[in-house]
Amino acid sequence: MLLNQDPMKHSDPMAFLLTDYQHWVHLYKLQSKTIQRFLDIQARNLSQYLIKPLHQFRFNLPDQVICGEGIEINSHKAQIVPAELREQTIGGLFERLNKNTINVTLRETLNELEASINPAVATSAGLIRFTTAMYLVYNQLPEGRTVHYHTAEDEEIPSIPNEDPSQHGSAITEATDAIVEEEQQSSAETVGELQVPYVPAARRFYLPQWVAFDAEDRLLVSSLEEGETYIHSMQEFLHTLHLAVSLGSYMLADEQYQRKRYGILGQLVNQGRAMARFETKQIISTIQKRALDNTLNRGLSLSLPYFDDQTLVIKTYEFQVIPAGRIMFVPAFVVRASRHEQAKVAQDTRLSPSTRNHLLILLELLENAFSDMSA
C-alpha cells in the first residue's frame, strides 16, 4: 500500500520494490510493541501452515493498528479494526475440491483485505503479509556462511565456490563450520562441548551440512540416499524463499533474502550436477561389470540422470543403446548411441544452454568410458 508516490520516479522495478519494502518496514516499526508481538505470532503460525499446508486454517488481524502516513486521519493514532473482520478463515471444501494451493488462497484473502476502504483493515492485512514473508526468510530458514561463487564455462548460475585462503588455516572459521555436540555427565550437568568440523570441501559452501560431494564428485556422506535428502532439503529451502516472494514481491529487495537465495542456489546447482555425474559414473561401472559377465546380450536402455537448472530438479534422459533381442553387447554400441544423443541434445531448445552443456558432458563421459574399450 504505497501512497502519494510518483510512478515516474520508479522506472527501475527494483527501486520500486525497495520503496515498497521500506514502506512496510517503517509501518511495522510504527506499531506498538504489543501489536508487533501479535503480528509476529500470526506470522509464525502462518509460516508453519504454508510450509506444511493444511486444507483450512485461521489467522487474526490485530484489534488496532497505526495506519501511517498518507491517511487523512491522524497517522500516528491507532485505528480500530472492526471486530467482525478480525478473524479470517483460509481454505475449506471449495479449495480442497478445486485443488487450490493454500498459499494462493491466502494471497487472495490478503489482497481482498488490503483493498478494503477501511484503512485499519487494509493496513492490518498488509502487515500480516509483510511479517509472514519476513518470518519465512529470517526465521524459518537456517543461516549460512558468507560465500562467493563464480560461474563455470558455458554456465549461467554461479555455482563454483571461490577459494578462501582463510580455510587453509584454522579448521573452524565460522560458527556454522561445526556441529556442537554436548557431552553430559548427567541429564542436568554439562561437562563440555565437542566440536565436529565439516570437511574443507563442505566448508566452501553456504550450508556445509548439506554438502554430499566434493569438487571431484567424491561422495562425502555414507550413502547416495543421504545425498538425495540434502538435495531435497535445498529444494525445500528455495521453495520457502519463493513462498516469501509470492506473498510480497518486495522481498526481492531484502538483503537477507538475496543472500540466502544466492548461497543456496549456487550450492544446489553445484551439488545437483555433482550427483548426476556421480550416478553417471556408477551407471558406467555397472555396464562395464555386466559386459564382463556377459549379461548385456538382450538389449540395453539407459536412464541418464541430469540436473535441470530451470526447474532445479534431477531428471532422467532416456535412450536406447541396443534394441531388445539376442544381440551381443559391443562397447562401440554405447559410443555410437552416446554420439547420436549428443547431436540431439545440442539441438534441444527445451533445455537451457547450461543444462544442455551439462547433459552433453554426461554423454561424453559415457562415450569416453567405452571408446577405450572398443579401441
Average pLDDT over residues 233-258: 96
**Tens-digit pLDDT profile for residues 46-75:** 999 888 877 788 999 999 999 976 544 455
What band does 154 get if pLDDT is binned at 50, 70 and 90? confident
In the chain, where the domains are located: 10-138, 149-267, 272-374
Region of poorest pLDDT, from 8-12, 185-189, 223-227, 285-289: 185-189
CB 252 within 8 A of CB 14: yes
CB 96 within 8 A of CB 54: no
Q: What's the pLDDT score for residue 74?
A: 52
User: Residue 244's CB: how many other CB atoms inside 10 A?
Assistant: 26
- Indicate the helix (H) or strand (E) that contains 260: helix 255-292
Residue 5's alpha-carbon distances to 69, 77, 212, 247, 250, in angstroms, are 12, 22, 49, 22, 16
**353 vs 1, higher pLDDT:** 353
Region of poorest pLDDT, from 33-37, 74-78, 349-353: 74-78
Instruction: Look at residue 144 and give its three-state secondary structure.
Output: coil
Query: pLDDT above 70 covers what percent of the chain?
Result: 83
Q: What's the pLDDT score for residue 186?
A: 42
CB 342 within 8 A of CB 364: yes
What band does 153 get if pLDDT is binned at 50, 70 and 90? confident
CB 154 within 8 A of CB 357: yes
Q: What's the pLDDT score for residue 278?
A: 97
